[in-house]
Amino acid sequence: MLTEFQAIVLGILQGLTEFLPVSSSAHLTLTPWLMGWSDPGLAFDVALHLGSLVALLVYYRQDWIMIIKGAVAGDPRGRRLLIRLIAASVPGAILGFLFEKQAETVFRSPLLIAVTLAVMGLALWIIDLGSAQKRDLDDITLGDALLIGVAQAFALVPGVSRSGATITVARMLKINRQDAANFSFLMSTPIIAGAGLLKAHEMLRSGLTHELTFGFAASAVFSLLAIAMLISYVRTRTYRVFAWYRLALAAFIIIVFLSRAGRL
């Protein structure tokens, strides 16, 4: 049974790690495993992601107004961005539908999470340092959007990180650090919204408990803080610190796993 304290802790973790390139699914899978907590369940997971969705809509409200104007009034910049966001959402939507069950079961091995954390951490570090910052949000082509969308699809595996994978590919395409994050967060909005709406009945069926409410609120507040912090941070710094964190967490997971298996 999830307690209110556990709900707040998991909400904070969701908020911070959904948008920092360190994998929210890894943290939300590993924390109950490490702490001996019970599985919070699908309804709680939906509440956490809806909290992150609220933060996205608040932070990027001006961008979404521009995008809506592009769809309705024909604003060219908004329409262009909308087309690219739709293209970027397609691969993730298809693979998410095909591999949803595996993502909730098979892909949640602690060792697999450790490997993906380390591999994607190294990829982010190397690609970010080696790529120029020649392009911005307006330079993203339809092909770029599809490629970044494929990267987003691989975030089904805990440890990959939706933001980590998409930012890494965007940096590989020489998009500047700030707009790599901006496009990553904008393109995550329809995916998170779609997944939340498809599973909202689970949350409604369980009722709006205190645990769901606290988790939702903590996720929304800390998601907003994480978005603002990351966008500000990468204006003048690289993504290196997040790569270091991923490598350190991967090493910690392996040590704990081997210790529990009696191999240390």
What pLDDT is stored for residue 108 in this prediction?
64
Q: How far apart are CA 98 and CA 115, in angstroms?
A: 23
Return the bridge partners of 246, or none. Answer: none
> Percent of the chain, pLDDT > 90?
58
In degrees to the nearest 10, what's the CA dihedral of 158, 8, 21, 52?
100
Residue 226, CA distances (Å) to 5, 67, 131, 230, 238 in order? 21, 23, 24, 6, 16
Q: Give the pLDDT band (50/70/90) at residue 261.
A: confident
Residue pLDDT, tens place only, 141-184: 999 999 999 998 888 788 889 999 999 999 999 999 999 999 99
DSSP line for 65-118:
HHHHHHHHT--HHHHHHHHHHHHHHHHHHHHHHHSHHHHHTGGG-HHHHHHHHH
pLDDT greater than 80 at residue 195: no
Average pLDDT, rounded, for the chain: 88
* Percent share of the chain, pLDDT over 70: 92
Which has more confidence, 250 or 204?
A: 250
* Mean pLDDT on 189-195: 85
- Of 143-147, 230-234, 236-240, 254-258, least confident by mean pLDDT is 254-258
Structure tokens, 69: 């104007």
Q: Is the pLDDT of residue 104 over 70?
A: no
Q: pTM of the entire structure?
A: 0.91
Tell whether the model's pLDDT for residue 201 goes beyond 60.
Answer: yes
Q: Are 75 and 69 a contacting pair, CB within 8 Å?
A: yes
All residues at 6 or more sequence positions from 128 whose CB lies less than 8 Å from its CB, including other chains: 168, 171, 177, 238, 239, 240, 243
Per the model's pLDDT, the better-predicted residue between 46 and 83 turns out to be: 83
Nearest to 35 by CA among 2, 59, 67: 2
Predicted local distance difference test score (pLDDT) of residue 10: 95
Q: How confident is residue 93, by pLDDT bands cut at 50, 70 and 90?
A: confident
